[in-house]
Amino acid sequence: MARRKGITIRLEFDDKSKLKLRAIAKHVGALADELDKIDNAWQCDCGSLDYSDHTYPSGTSVTRVCDKCKESYIIPNEELPTRLEGSD
């Protein structure tokens, strides 16, 4: 089968248009980050998004308590290293 050639489109913008497009790109990125936060927000099995965290003295994990149903969950601390430095 013969290979098809692609289409090339050339666009030229003045300086103001370039600045406007950069501003749009910046805000679209911020919007995507905010929507991602909403999608990945912690949610209790009862459906509530409201909770309070209580850190263990060891700092290895947190007890998360739902403000609505009072169910508690143990949440591991993701900031702690999972392996020793220098080990591969």
Q: What is the pLDDT of residues 43-71, one digit of tens each?
A: 889 999 999 988 877 767 788 899 999 99
* Domain-located, residue 36: yes
pTM of the model: 0.48
Range of the domain at 58: 44-80
Q: How many residues does the chain have?
A: 88
* Domain-located, residue 6: no
CB 64, CB 51: distance < 8 Å: yes
Is 75 found in the same domain as 55? yes
Question: What is the Cα–Cα distance from 67 to 51, expressed in whole angstroms?
Answer: 5
Where helices occur in 3-87 by DSSP H, the ranges are 15-39
Is 53 found in the same domain as 35? no
* Domain-located, residue 8: no
Q: How many domains would you assign to the chain?
A: 2
Indicate the pLDDT class of residue 4, thresholds 50, 70 and 90: confident
Handedness of CA 25, 31, 34, 40 (dihedral sign): negative
